[in-house]
Structure 1
């Protein structure tokens, strides 16, 4: 009986610790924490801010791997993509572009903006937390 109580206590403790690690990786406050006032973002957070000039921003949950997309509550064409480390990625699209965001080497946020019709220039770069919003379209 003591062994099972001890094991259950260990399991609960590990679950609490894991929850705190995840909470530390993605802060509460959504878009405002990451893009409105970037000083509120947790130190070392992996994120990128985007603004679409070519329509709304759309995504499917299955296109998010260890990542979250937060929308600006007052402007649906502005988002924060927050990634949780190596292997994390997110894909979303606007009227005319598809955007892929991913973590490379565990510490840099990379993005690629491609025309949906396959014509035009592909814009690929690295995002730094001090950068302005990445503008999609016109």
Structure 2
């Protein structure tokens, strides 16, 4: 059973709760890194909490939600080894996994509705990283440019 880490700020709280229930129904192990209410919260704090946990669980994937998804994406990509992708449609989410080995999906609660978000998350989680050498080489270059060591992936 794959672990999915999920987090949001106040703007994404309601969508996070809906997606958490959806993912649990789909059989995923879901770990909620916060927030736990719709009280004002700073998205960088949640993004940093989720990405720190993801570094401890390299086989997990993450989902971050804020108003637009953009702030979370910027904050998440500050951490080495994190490849966060903002997506507003299932095709982009799937290609982010297949071509870029994205390990965090960022969604905008003010941009996508609950049903579309479920489709985006499903596409992201069900798509494996491509075994094509060109994609592997490009992802390795991303890691080197971020100052980290290339990650070896066997999936």
Whose strand proportion is higher, 1 or 2? 1
State the TM-score, normalized to the length of structure 1.
Answer: 0.32
Using structure 2 for the length normalisation, give the TM-score.
0.29
